[in-house]
Amino acid sequence: MGDIRVELYELTAHELGNLIRRRKISVIELTKSLLDRISNTDCILGSYISVCEEEAIERAKQIQLKIDSGGDCPPLAGIPMALKDNICTRGIRTTCASKMLADFVPPYNATVVEKMYSQGTILLGKLNMDEFGMGSTTENSFFKKTRNPWDTERVPGGSSGGPAAAVAGGEAIFALGSDTGGSIRQPAAFCGIVGMKPTYGAVSRFGLVAFASSLEQIGPLTKDVTDCALVLNAITGYDRMDSTSVDIKHPDYTKALVNDVKGMKIGIPKEYIDRGINNEVKKAILNAAEVFKKLGAECEEFSLPLTEYMVPVYYLISSAEASSNLARYDGIRYGYRAEKYSGLSDLYIKSRSEGFGAEVKRRIILGTYALSADYYDFFYKKALQLRTLIYDSFSRTFEKYDLIMGPTSPATAYKINEKTDNPLEMYLADIYTVPANLAGLPGIAVPCGFDSNGLPIGLQLTGKPFDESTLLRAAYTFEQNTEYHRIRPKVDR
Amino acid sequence: MFSYLGVVIRMKYEIIIGLEIHAELSTKSKIFCSCTTEFGGEANTHCCPICLGMPGTLPVLNRKVVEYAVKAGLAMNCKIEEFSKLDRKNYFYPDLPKAYQISQYNLPICRDGYVDIDTGSGRKRIGITRIHIEEDAGKLIHDDESMSSFIDYNRCGVPLIEIVTEPDLRSSEEAKAFLESIKAILQYTGVSDCKMQEGSLRADVNLSIRPVGQKEFGVRTEMKNLNSFRSVVRAIEWEAQRQIEVIESGGSVIQETRRWDDNTGMSYSMRSKEEANDYRYFPEPDLVPVIIDGKWIEEIKKSLPELPDVRKKRYMSDYGLPEYDAWILTRSKALSDFFETAVSKSKNVKAVSNWIMGDLLRILKEKEMEVEDIPFPAEYLARLVDLIDNGTISSTIGKAVFQKMFATGKEPEVIVKEEGMEVISDETELNHIVRKIIMNNPQSVADYKNGKQKAFGFLVGQAMKETKGKGNPKIINKLLKDLLG
Ligand SMILES: [Zn+2]
């Protein structure tokens, strides 16, 4: 115990927003608090690939000036945040944690970055991840391993491990990550924070370096559900630069922050809790169901068919798309180029062999194989057909339930190097998160307990397309009636 | 190679040809970004992060491209698909910055159409299998001196349509006639300017042969990227002969892609079927399907202009032009428009048509000019015809005026005045000249008086020569007759 003084970096965006608007704190002071925190703890956590110290302070001054002059003050104005390093930032290198793009500086901003800037948020830097988003531990980064703030011998999850560790460790008030198969929700669960993957098409993908285009969305990693709603308000919306973004009017998501789930129908897929799940995780999920029941929701188990196909279908489709999306990194125009080569073919082979890490190469090979003429019908086409069936089975499920509830991951955070030799086992652990990506559904992970090692457990809620409001309402109610989100890790030096 | 024996052997075989034609669309901006499609420009100045395929960028389909493809489809009697999609065609090449081309694989915008062509033995219907949209690639420039290659991405992302025909063509003449029809249709509809020298129309030729009477097709080869009608014709002739010789010498044709070399006049094997690229097509996840509703199709249909075939028939019925003339005049939209403007200002359609079919096309060919390069408006031609018809100048002088119009772009009346080319109708002046001719040609005068009509013509000619072609032949005739009694 001892020091009970609350540091600014420990607060949430909505708390800090209040303090800023009431002139209790200055944006500069807040930004410096975060930068100090980063310089104190990031040598342990390794969340950041790039820290934009000078730009952040400069920007903090500008925003404070704006606030002082009585200008418009959006809810996130002055809040220091950070971005996963696959979200393009003009003039700031965007590496995807790959040797291939180690020196790549985009001449454009992602649409979400423009939106963040227009909100007046302060960009602290770019966060570590599994190379190109491929992985669940952030061990597949070319630069460094990121450590879990709850236990620095453990991984923060992935691929948005940097964002999750930074937010949980107090190195950013919130972060934006990307979720292709669970890459926001699983690290959020591992690090005891809130992470949401919005409905496919809710947030523009323009400027998100593509891994698997038909599956991924950018989403928030925050300390609580209120912050999640605030960030969601800021990033959702149609973008004419992204044809797959959907032109609908999004509600004010903070309106969904209502402490009431009475009459809400929540389904728990039997297949999610029957086997292959850590007992402590299972207990926490069933306990969460009891919480919801006590608050007046109807919770029941049901059978979600096709669960066994989710992971294979996901890996075929995501790898197929990745094999094509990553083909542009050929050493010709930008990015890594091998130093010695003879001829065009050799330039391609050497640059790509040296520029990509093992996991990326594994997926490219898998995806190329799945799309090749001889195997297309057997792999890729089958996977597409199954994807349609999966989509349909969710549609039917949502005729009956408002939400689906389950674990985010079958286990809590792994030890560093624990799983690196067994990619297949790691793939299988994505079973609870990939369905939302395959069906384009919104999903949220919220803290729902701790295991006997003191590691956080994440509850996952999945909703109907564009029904983030129901998701937020249930998550908010759960949060208001539990204390898990208040417990913060202590990062030891 | 084309000996008499060769011709006989050749007649034993039927040539089967299918074409894949790529036409650049004349939209102002590229297919997936707002960069200009303008030809030329310093290397890599018509590009942006999107057409350069930089990380995180996304394509957005230009609606005009869909409209133009539908236009082309309707003009070629195709069925327009209300639902189509875009796919990725994956292959590595430095001119392709994403390492895939966005194209259409199994659901093209148009299918099952046809175009009628005129052949030596009447009209023939050529089936159009499909028309789809896709993006063009950049251009590699090899520099032998520095032993290196440079890339210009200006063409990257310029919209194309690919028109695929049924294997309905049977000779290089038919292929040429078909290409001319396609070119005319694309120009009339404004879908493409079809400038071959800028590479905006190119064709791949699929060719096989079979003994006359055989039902099954032979093994076919594909020749890629022929960028002039002339090379298409030459490539077909050469490849057909090659395949015949292979078969005649007991060999068999291999399914392969061949490269036509216009300089050597030969095709070379590029890759066999076994080595063929596996393009790993799959649906483009960055774009939504293309939905074309019936209302839009109707709107586009209404916007279609008169097509070359219809125009040709109209020229025959309205102007009484022979079929061949009507065909020549309607092959190029620019020429046809020139003709129509001239005709609208003139009463003498036949004369206008003759001027265009004769002198105009000849001069264009000599000067290697396009119709668009003619330095005077079509109306001037109508006025030139008028000057001849009302007797201001003779038709011989008319030819000289026409040459001057090409050289200076001046109005015919101005040229006639400046050069003093008006017909001399002054009887006193002509009387003087005719007397001089009679005096200088006593023999011809004698011949004429002895009943040789030819001699009279000679004397008229001499008088015309004396007037430098400007004498009014009617008056000269009359004066001669009077003087010779
Ligand atoms: Zn562009």
In this predicted complex, what is the ipTM? 0.96
Domain of residue A55, residue span: 8-267+400-486
Helices (H), A295-377: 307-325, 344-355, 358-371
CB B452 within 8 A of CB B460: no
Q: How many residues does chain A have?
A: 493
Cα B57 to middle of ligand 1, angstroms: 10
Helices (H), B218-360: 229-248, 294-303, 308-319, 323-331, 333-344, 349-355
A316 at interface of B, judged by CB pairs closer than 8 A = no
Residue A281 lies in a domain: no
Query: Average pLDDT for residues A429-443, to the nearest whole number?
Result: 97
- CA-based max dimension of chain B: 98
Q: How far is A225 from chain B (nearest CA, A)?
A: 28
Residue A82 lies in a domain: yes
Question: Who's near A394: CB < 8 A, 6+ residues apart?
Answer: A435, A439, A441
Residue A214 lies in a domain: yes
Domain harbouring A404, CATH code: 3.90.1300.10
The type of residue at A47 is S
Q: Helix (H) and strand (E) counts for chain B?
A: 17, 16
Confidence of residue A493 (pLDDT cuts 50, 70, 90): low
Binary contact (A208, B56; C-beta < 8 A) = yes
Residue A315 lies in a domain: no
A101 at interface of B, judged by CB pairs closer than 8 A = yes
For A401, the 3-state DSSP assignment is coil
Whether the predicted pLDDT of A253 surpasses 80: yes
Give CA–CA dist A276/B278, Å, rounded.
39
The tokens for A201 are 């098409």
pLDDT at A3: 53
From the CB of residue B420, how many other CB atoms can be counted at a distance below 10 Å?
9
Q: How many domains does chain A have?
A: 1
Closest by CA position to B338, among listed B329, B347, B346: B329
Residue A39 lies in a domain: yes
The tokens for B446 are 């004698």
Give CA–CA dist B111/B131, Å, rounded.
6
Nearest to B287 among A243, A321, A344 (CB): A243
> Which residue's entry shows tokens 């999920």?
A285
Give CA–CA dist B122/A58, Å, rounded.
79
Phi-psi region of B320 (alpha: psi -120 to 50; beta: other; left: phi over 0): left
Pairing of strands A456-463, A443-450: antiparallel
Alpha-carbon distances, residue B243 vs A254, A283, B250 (angstroms) = 74, 75, 11
* Best B33, B152, B280, B290 residue to mutate vs chain A (most A CBs within 10 Å): B280
Q: pLDDT tens per residue, chain B (485 residues)?
A: 456 666 777 889 999 999 999 999 999 999 999 999 999 899 999 999 999 999 999 999 999 999 999 999 999 999 999 999 999 999 999 999 999 999 999 999 999 999 999 887 888 999 999 999 999 999 999 888 888 889 999 999 999 999 999 999 999 999 999 999 999 999 999 999 888 777 789 999 999 999 999 999 999 999 988 988 999 999 999 999 999 999 999 999 999 999 998 889 888 898 877 777 899 999 999 999 999 999 999 999 999 999 999 999 999 999 999 988 999 999 888 999 999 999 999 989 999 999 999 999 999 989 888 888 899 999 999 999 999 998 888 888 899 899 999 999 999 999 988 887 778 878 888 888 888 888 888 888 888 888 888 888 898 888 888 888 888 888 888 888 888 87
For chain B, the C-alpha Rg in angstroms (whole number) is 29
Pairing of strands A122-127, A80-84: parallel
CB B398 within 8 A of CB B470: no
The type of residue at B380 is Y
Where in the sequence numbering do the catalytic residues of A fall? Answer: 84, 159, 183
Cα A107 to middle of ligand 1, angstroms: 13
Helix, strand, coil percentages, rounded to 5, for chain B: 45, 20, 35
Question: Who's near A359: CB < 8 A, 6+ residues apart?
Answer: A130, A131, A134, A135, A140, A423
Confidence of residue A231 (pLDDT cuts 50, 70, 90): very high
Binary contact (B55, A96; C-beta < 8 A) = yes
The domain spans of chain B are 4-299, 306-419, 427-484
Could you say which DSSP state residue A489 is in?
A: -
Binary contact (A213, B49; C-beta < 8 A) = no
pLDDT at B463: 87
Pairing of strands A194-197, A443-450: antiparallel
The tokens for A231 are 């960030």
Give CA–CA dist A458/A109, Å, rounded.
32
* A159 prior amide bond cis, ω within 30: yes
Give CA–CA dist A329/A204, Å, rounded.
23
Question: Who's near B48: CB < 8 A, 6+ residues apart?
Answer: B33, B34, B35
Binary contact (B280, A107; C-beta < 8 A) = no
pLDDT at B11: 85
CATH of domain B427-484: 1.10.10.410
> What's the predicted TM-score (pTM) here?
0.90
Tens of pLDDT, residue by residue over A167-213, are: 999 999 999 999 999 999 999 999 999 999 999 999 999 999 999 99
Residue A303 lies in a domain: no
Give CA–CA dist A38/A296, Å, rounded.
42
Pairing of strands B159-165, B201-211: unpaired
CB B261 within 8 A of CB B242: no
pLDDT at B4: 66
* Best B95, B282, B290 residue to mutate vs chain A (most A CBs within 10 Å): B282
Residue A62 lies in a domain: yes
